[in-house]
Amino acid sequence: MTATPLTLAPREIDPSVDREIQAIVSGGTGGSTCSTDLASNPWIFDTNPGYGPGASMGDIIPTGAPRQGTLPQEYRDAPEEELHERIRAAKATLGDRVVVLGHFYQRDEVVRHADHVGDSFQLAGFAKQHPEAEAIVFCGVHFMAETADLLSTPDQAVILPNLAAGCSMADMADIDQVEDCWAELGELYGDLDTPDAEGLLPVIPVTYMNSSAAIKGFVGRHQGIVCTSSNARTVLEWAFARGRRVLFFPDQHLGRNTAKAMGVPLERMPMWNPTKPLGGSSETELSEAQVILWHGFCSVHRRFTVGQIDKARAEHPGAQVIVHPECPMAVVDAADAAGSTDYIRKAIQAATEPTTFAIGTEINLVQRLAAEHPEHEIFCLDPVVCPCSTMYRIHPGYLAWVLESLVAGETVNRITVPADVADPARVALERMLAARP
């Protein structure tokens, strides 16, 4: 798949959209300014390329990425309270026929309608636990909805309320690039599918949940496994027990932070940049590699810096700094702790004394935790309040539309993984679900 750089061509300005977002749309800010109320009317982006407002504004979107198309006017015009009432009414009519799942990064206006809220690992579990539901409405991003489709029954429809809710990190590894990488590694290490005398394969591919179903299928076909940020260490242990080295994609930071914590030296973690021959590493580096890191990253989490941590500690002596492992290594090293969204949530819940928490993850979760825990002081390390722009594309307008369509007997925005991809992808996911510390 070829990628086209996002261009900030002048676009029609919707007067109802707040001024900051208009500045970003017209290219006036260089995309560096974010706020949680930027995307109050996200349908302005429905027919435009790009990830929309916020942190991943400047990333490259693949040309084949799904576009939402225009949301019917009645949902765009409806006041927020009316949308909430319509969502409640549609859910009540549908009863057990529908289950609504929401990731922790979803905006509060969406989370309030979710039957289950969780991190990507927990949501995969919830998708398996509701065989009675005809439809699973997934308020998250595209790769999560694909995973729900893989883990639910064939009769169940998984619905992504806004098709353009992708993930810029997942888009950084496409299947053609990964196949090319595998072919190059095969030339270097020999037959990649045959174990050596000690029963170890030359490379075990490990993909972060934040990847397309096609990549999960690739991993399933090559004795590999999926991980999430909550089980990456367990999964790497699983892989090291079966192979000489690991090819980890798409998030270099999660791979590096996890392997480093397990004692893998940095010099044995070369990078694979898919735009360069041999990924930009030398044959020697690749021969000695223990973990080959794909050149991907999360645009939200790479905003966090050691300087922000230093400032938080200077201004709030005694503050506990907790960051997501998608943050760069120096940030994770400087923090008091690092873990998945659910880890962060539980760490705050476990604090028995009033504590100041400086958090390095997406702003919707941080603000919700702050509201839920008035006994603590909780703030985001990044002073520029930046939502995950693709998560933020799920607005109550889309949720009302997909639910009312179900009531009317129509399934819109269904995410279906084709069988030839689904079968091996499911194998890779089931390996992850079975892997134990």
388, 105 in Cβ contact below 8 A?
A: yes
Compute the least distance from the CB of residue 77 to ligand SF4, in Å.
29
Compute the least distance from the CB of residue 202 to ligand 13P, in Å.
29
Radius of gyration of the chain from Cα atoms? 21
Give the span between the Cα atoms of 392 and 39, in whole angstroms. 7
Cα torsion 129, 130, 136, 139: sign: negative
Compute the least distance from the CB of residue 49 to ligand SF4, in Å.
16
Alpha carbon separation from 88 to 40, 194, 414 (Å, rounded): 20, 55, 21
Alpha carbon separation from 382 to 252, 300, 362 (Å, rounded): 21, 10, 9
Compute the least distance from the CB of residue 129 to ligand 13P, in Å.
17
Residue 341 or residue 367: which is nearer to ligand 13P going by CB? 341
340 binds, among ligand SF4, ligand 13P, none (CB under 5 to 8 A by kind): ligand 13P
Compute the least distance from the CB of residue 229 to ligand 13P, in Å.
4
Cα torsion 109, 113, 117, 121: sign: negative
Compute the least distance from the CB of residue 113 to ligand 13P, in Å.
19
1, 212 in Cβ contact below 8 A?
A: no
98 binds, among ligand SF4, ligand 13P, none (CB under 5 to 8 A by kind): none
Residue 394 or residue 402: which is nearer to ligand SF4 going by CB? 394
Give the span between the Cα atoms of 223 and 238, in whole angstroms. 11
DSSP states along 407-419: HTT---SB----H
Compute the least distance from the CB of residue 60 to ligand SF4, in Å.
13
Residue 46 or residue 326: which is nearer to ligand 13P going by CB? 326
120 binds, among ligand SF4, ligand 13P, none (CB under 5 to 8 A by kind): ligand 13P
Residue 156 or residue 341: which is nearer to ligand 13P going by CB? 341
Task: Provide the binding-site residues for ligand 13P, judged by CB under 6 A.
Answer: 119-120, 210, 228-229, 298, 326, 340-341
Give the span between the Cα atoms of 291 and 113, in whole angstroms. 41
404 binds, among ligand SF4, ligand 13P, none (CB under 5 to 8 A by kind): none
CB-CB neighbours of 9 under 10 Å: 11
165 binds, among ligand SF4, ligand 13P, none (CB under 5 to 8 A by kind): none
Enumerate the H helices of 95-163 as residue ranges: 108-111, 120-128, 142-151
Compute the least distance from the CB of residue 140 to ligand 13P, in Å.
8
236 binds, among ligand SF4, ligand 13P, none (CB under 5 to 8 A by kind): none
And the tokens for 433?
Answer: 């679900």
Compute the least distance from the CB of residue 411 to ligand 13P, in Å.
26
341 binds, among ligand 13P, ligand SF4, none (CB under 5 to 8 A by kind): ligand 13P
DSSP state of 201: B
Q: What three-state secondary structure class fits 200? A: coil
Residue 51 or residue 240: which is nearer to ligand SF4 going by CB? 51
Residue 168 or residue 308: which is nearer to ligand SF4 going by CB? 168
DSSP state of 204: E
Residue 59 or residue 119: which is nearer to ligand 13P going by CB? 119
The residue sitting closest to ligand 13P, measured at its beta carbon, is 119
Q: Which residues of 292-307 are buried (b: 16+ CB within 10 A; e: fewer)?
A: bbbbbbbbbbbbbbee
Compute the least distance from the CB of residue 53 to ligand SF4, in Å.
13
Give the span between the Cα atoms of 225 and 189, in whole angstroms. 20
56 binds, among ligand SF4, ligand 13P, none (CB under 5 to 8 A by kind): ligand SF4
Task: Provide the binding-site residues for ligand SF4, judged by CB under 6 A.
Answer: 56, 141, 167-169, 210, 298-300, 362, 388, 390-391
Cα torsion 18, 20, 21, 23: sign: positive
390 binds, among ligand SF4, ligand 13P, none (CB under 5 to 8 A by kind): ligand SF4
And the tokens for 197?
Answer: 């005398």
Q: What three-state secondary structure class fits 80? A: helix
Give the span between the Cα atoms of 143 and 118, in whole angstroms. 15
Residue 210 or residue 356: which is nearer to ligand 13P going by CB? 210
228 binds, among ligand 13P, ligand SF4, none (CB under 5 to 8 A by kind): ligand 13P
Residue 286 or residue 298: which is nearer to ligand 13P going by CB? 298
Residue 137 or residue 185: which is nearer to ligand 13P going by CB? 137
Q: Which value, to the nearest 10 degrees, does the dihedral of the CA atoms of residues 61, 64, 70, 71 take? A: -80
